[in-house]
Structure 1
Amino acid sequence: MSTDYQQAREALGLRLRELRFASPGGRLTGAELAERLGNGWTKSKVSKLENGRQTATVDELQAWSAAVGQPEACDALLAQLRGFESHIRSWRRQLAKGHRPVQEAITAEHDRTEVLTIWENVLVPGMLQTPEYARHVLTRHANLMQSPRDTEEAVRTRIRRQEGLYQPGRKYRIMMWEGAMRALVCPPSVLAAQLDRLVGVVGLDTLELGIIPFSASLKIYPANSFWIYDERRVVVEDWHAEMWLDDADSIATYLRVWNTLAESAVYGADAQNVINHARRALNPH
């Protein structure tokens, strides 16, 4: 968790404590507030929220402001929460209603983007996935995160996003590690069809597809995946959360990482050769 994020969470906790102290009926103790809030609330939870060791939900902020007799403070609390959660979006919160809302949020970002720069080290990017490959990826993620199952809706939303590949004026700079084409996150037959799809999109005028082969000499290690939207925002994926970064320094860093990785990539016919090699490895005989 970033220092800035933790500081913002602590600032929200401080504001919650101030509201508890300033309750119109008199200062409340943590235990008294927990009792007012009722089921699921304890003195320990109150303490964790006030000390920035736990992030409040929207419902919890609404309940808190009402319990301390200051419901008018809720809007400001929610604004504070949005301010730092816009940068680090936990999967637990994002997937509370399934994968479709997450896919829709990303689609909205895609729709306002002219140049999308992608680095993927472990999966074929969503912009190039077949429906069956996407179905396996989303199902595995839902299993891991124990989130509601809305796989088919999420797959449809993800695949609709690929219409951008055929829209004039769009540009997709997608670069992948060879390992992304060999990871059996799906049955071999599904991966084979996915690799055929990759071969088929090489040469689209909207797509610049680069592959870094296992044999390439690397100037930097191929770490976690990220997406750069028009050099105004970077989305970085990790196991606990997605980080949405819009500060100039972070964007410049990820662009520098992408450009450094790109020095080891191959394109065009050479990229097709790497894809075909991975395809043949699925059926060696």
Structure 2
Amino acid sequence: MKSMQEWLTQPGGLATRLRQMRRAAALTGDRLAVDAGWTQSKVSKLENGHQLPTDDDLAVWARACGQLSATAELRAQLAEALGVHREFRMRMRLGQVAVQRDHDELARAARVIRNAETVLVPGLLQVPGYARARIEENARFYKTDAGEIDAAVASRLHRQQVLYDTAKSFTFVVTEAALRILLCPLSDMLAQLDRLAVIAAGGMSHVQFGVIPFGVQLRTTPQHGFLLLDDLAVVETISGETVYEGEEAATYAAAMDDLLAEALTGDQAAEIVTRAATDLRLKSRHSANPTKKSRP
């Protein structure tokens, strides 16, 4: 399956169309950047498919090129590219490496990434063992090629390099349940919690990690996890994956704000993570050495 960049830059693709519009208007990349109030690098990224445009970006581009009436068509083309590119079951049938590559493209293009999860650790924060358990589950559930598991895990872990891009900002919110539900071997879960404790304590200034503790009354019910990439919302369910924009994406952004408002961050979040790890270790020891009941 083509990557997102390939979809955007193919003949007739959205990025190709944007470049053609600029040239037809006799504008240089520098001139369009000035007119749009952008950096020249943003113009280059949009034209070369390295960054997904937003609806507002398309309107600004069309206006700068003197073709404001083309805005609706450009937006429809963006929606079509996203829809074709994110048919979840089809992509799963083509293999998990293609799925991971797709997510790589989206993560690299976004500047603001926010992720809320109810029972899972966010993909960008997963340690190798936890990530492998998730990929193996997908292989079993969607009947994908088991031979791709190693490559898919490597791709997911490679995507985490975006966390070190200080030009981006990241916000993660999980419920306390995500810290306690065992979805991988015990040793891997303990390693996962150790990593989350470090992140929660503020290891990276551009990364915020929050935990919604048990016992908190919420204004918004976290019915499922979702991912916000700039102005897009990506919602994954068991049966598929949907991309929302505009008002629908704004609804998810508002939900994220509500959830973050109820979450504990910093040292308080780290304490919850550490407590979950302590409880897990104690439970493991108890299971390994159950107390023998004395005979009456």
Which bracket does the TM-score occupy, shorter chain normalised? 0.5 to 0.7
Distance (whole Å) between structure 1 residues aligned to residue 140 and residue 118 of structure 2: 21
CA contact (8 A) 1:87 1:244 kept: no
Compared CA separation, residues 87 and 209, structure 1 to 2 (3 A): farther
Residue 126 in structure 1 maps to residue 123 in structure 2: yes
Question: In structure 2, what is the equivalent of residue 237 of structure 1?
Answer: 236
Amino acid at match of 1:180: A
CA contact (8 A) 1:91 1:145 kept: no
CA contact (8 A) 1:90 1:240 kept: no
Question: In structure 2, what is the equivalent of residue 147 of structure 1?
Answer: 144
Identity of aligned residues (%): 31
Give the C-alpha shift of residue 91 in structure 1: 3.3
Q: 2:253 aligns with which of 252, 255, 278?
A: 255
Question: In structure 2, what is the equivalent of residue 52 of structure 1?
Answer: none
Q: After superposition, what is the alpha-carbon deviation per residue over 1:62-105, rounded to whole angstroms, capped at 9, x for unaligned?
A: xxxxxxxxxxxxxxxxx99x938717944320111211100100
Q: After superposition, what is the alpha-carbon deviation per residue over 1:164-198, rounded to whole angstroms, capped at 9, x for unaligned?
A: 11122111011111111111111111100100011
Q: After superposition, what is the alpha-carbon deviation per residue over 1:109-168, rounded to whole angstroms, capped at 9, x for unaligned?
A: 111111101111111001100011100111012101112221111111111111111122
Unaligned 5+ segments in structure 2 are 1-75, 286-296
Question: In structure 2, what is the equivalent of residue 105 of structure 1?
Answer: 102
Question: In structure 1, what is the equivalent of residue 225 of structure 2?
Answer: 225
TM-score when scaled to structure 2? 0.65
Give the C-alpha shift of residue 229 in structure 1: 0.7
Other structure's SS at 1:234 match: strand
Q: 1:201 aligns with which of 191, 196, 199?
A: 199
Amino acid at match of 2:221: Y
Give the C-alpha shift of residue 261 in structure 1: 1.3
Compared CA separation, residues 91 and 112, structure 1 to 2 (3 A): closer
Largest Rg, 1 or 2: 1
Compared CA separation, residues 258 and 185, structure 1 to 2 (3 A): same
Distance (whole Å) between structure 2 residues aligned to residue 182 and residue 103 of structure 1: 26
Question: In structure 2, what is the equivalent of residue 96 of structure 1?
Answer: 93
CA contact (8 A) 1:116 1:172 kept: yes
The aligned runs of 1:19-168 (5 Å cut-off) are 83=80, 86=83, 89-149=86-146, 150-168=148-166
Please identify, of 215-224 and 250-259, the stretch whose mean Cα deviation from structure 2 is larger: 215-224
Distance (whole Å) between structure 1 residues aligned to residue 116 and residue 91 of structure 2: 22
Amino acid at match of 1:215: G
Q: 1:275 aligns with which of 273, 285, 290?
A: 273
TM-score when scaled to structure 1? 0.68
Distance (whole Å) between structure 2 residues aligned to residue 277 and residue 87 of structure 1: 44
CA contact (8 A) 2:193 2:277 kept: yes
Q: 2:168 aligns with which of 161, 167, 170?
A: 170
Other structure's SS at 1:210 match: strand
Distance (whole Å) between structure 2 residues aligned to residue 140 and residue 281 of structure 1: 25
Other structure's SS at 2:262 match: coil
Amino acid at match of 1:83: E
Amino acid at match of 1:219: R
**What is the alpha-carbon root mean square deviation over aligned residues?**
2.0
- Give aligned pairs, total: 204
CA contact (8 A) 2:93 2:142 kept: no
Distance (whole Å) between structure 1 residues aligned to residue 85 and residue 166 of structure 2: 33
